[in-house]
Amino acid sequence: MRFGLFGGPSRPPGQVGDGKSFRQFIDYVVEAEQLGFESVFLVEHHFTGAGQVSASLTLLSYLAGLTSTMRLGTAVTVMPWHQPLLLAEQAATVDIVSNGRLDFGVGRGYRANEFHGFKIDPDEAQARFEEAVGLVLKSWTSKERFNHDGRFWSFRDVIVEPQPVQNDPHPPIWVAAGSEGSVRKAAATGQRVLMDQFGSTAVCAERIGWYRDAQKQAGLPALPNQVALTRGLLLVDHPSKKAAEFERRHLMGRMIAASAQIPGQAPPANPTGPFVLDKSDDATQAATINGTPDECIGQLKALEAAGVEYVLFNDPWGGIERLRFFAREVMPAFRKARALA
């Protein structure tokens, strides 16, 4: 099993200013590489008022110069917000300056306040997503100039430079997927899957089954690191501290749900997105890696038995001390397993 990071800089409640949170996060990622974490996947969010990262590729470019082995991912780049050719140029530049370490995660967006802020109709999200992804991939693989006249974007006599270092045929594409249809489509088209941080172990096993079955039907090989699972990391040194960690997790969910609402409007009657799921302690127990080191090892072993090989930890306020604790007390159990494989 391999481990990475998910999320990005954000401000804890009451903290003012973005500079401190960004500097802390950069130091956090640099040390995480030294501790044995293999990747960082940055979210992209806008208009939150909470200092969440918005210019993910810019931050990844900086991290590329401070790291040497860590994979640099987006989770996800929200395609409807971006002009696709400029995005292709920026992402390829990250791949070049990192010597081929870009993992390009893509999604269509879900936060109401972002659609509202960009003045984009949510009903257009899927069509914008598909056209934008197609243009990025064409930009990365076309050796000749091309034209494009689509529903949302038009270009004439363009050749996109630079092209990425990873050219087999392009950097890995990761999609945020949870439904059976979306998981199977990703597998059949050679895309990798980012699973959310709320599904239980049984749900994750079912989704991995869909992915591997669709690969088999498409005649594609089942390879390592094609499915990543995000999990909150609530590692503690004593069971009595779990309740406080659960409450902090609930607080994070409430804050992000609030930041996704359209300013001045009441929450929708039928909200969508990841933060409308059950936020009870039972749900948090089922969808996080929580408790003492031995408890966390057991939970990760259960995920491993379900087919999970790659876990990305979302721990916005746990700090580097928690990662050090994890690396010292939990990682060795999985290093031994990898050495014997």
Number of domains within the chain: 1
Residue 104 β-bridge partners? 173
Tens digits of residue pLDDT in 282-300? 888 888 999 999 999 999 9
Containing domain of residue 117, as a range?
Answer: 2-340
Instruction: Quickly state the pLDDT bin for 272 (edges 50, 70, 90).
Output: low
Looking from the CA of 263 toward its CB, the CA atoms found within 13 Å total 7
Going by their DSSP bridges, the two strands 146-149 and 154-158 should be labelled as: antiparallel
On whether the pTM is more than 0.75, the answer is yes
Asked whether the beta carbons of 218 and 188 are under 8 A apart, the reply is yes
Domain harbouring 228, CATH code: 3.20.20.30
Q: State the average pLDDT over residues 187-195.
A: 96
Q: How many Å apart are CA 279 and CA 198, to the nearest integer? A: 9
234: part of which helix (H) or strand (E)? strand 227-235
pLDDT score, position 21: 87
Q: How many Å apart are CA 237 and CA 167, to the nearest integer? A: 45
Of 47-56, 86-95, 259-268, 269-278, the poorest mean pLDDT is in 269-278
The DSSP-derived string for 101-164 is -EEEEEE----HHHHHHHT--GGGHHHHHHHHHHHHHHHHH--S-EEEE-SS-EEEEE---SPP
Q: State the average pLDDT over residues 181-186.
A: 96
pLDDT score, position 84: 98
Q: State the average pLDDT over residues 51-63.
A: 94
Q: Residue 186's closest CA among 200, 203, 172, 169?
A: 172
Secondary structure (3-state) at 40: strand
Count CB-CB contacts under 10 A for residue 110. Answer: 18
Instruction: Quickly state the pLDDT bin for 341 (edges 50, 70, 90).
Output: very low
pLDDT score, position 14: 56
Count CB-CB contacts under 10 A for residue 239. Answer: 11
Instruction: Quickly state the pLDDT bin for 159 (edges 50, 70, 90).
Output: very high
Secondary structure (3-state) at 248: helix
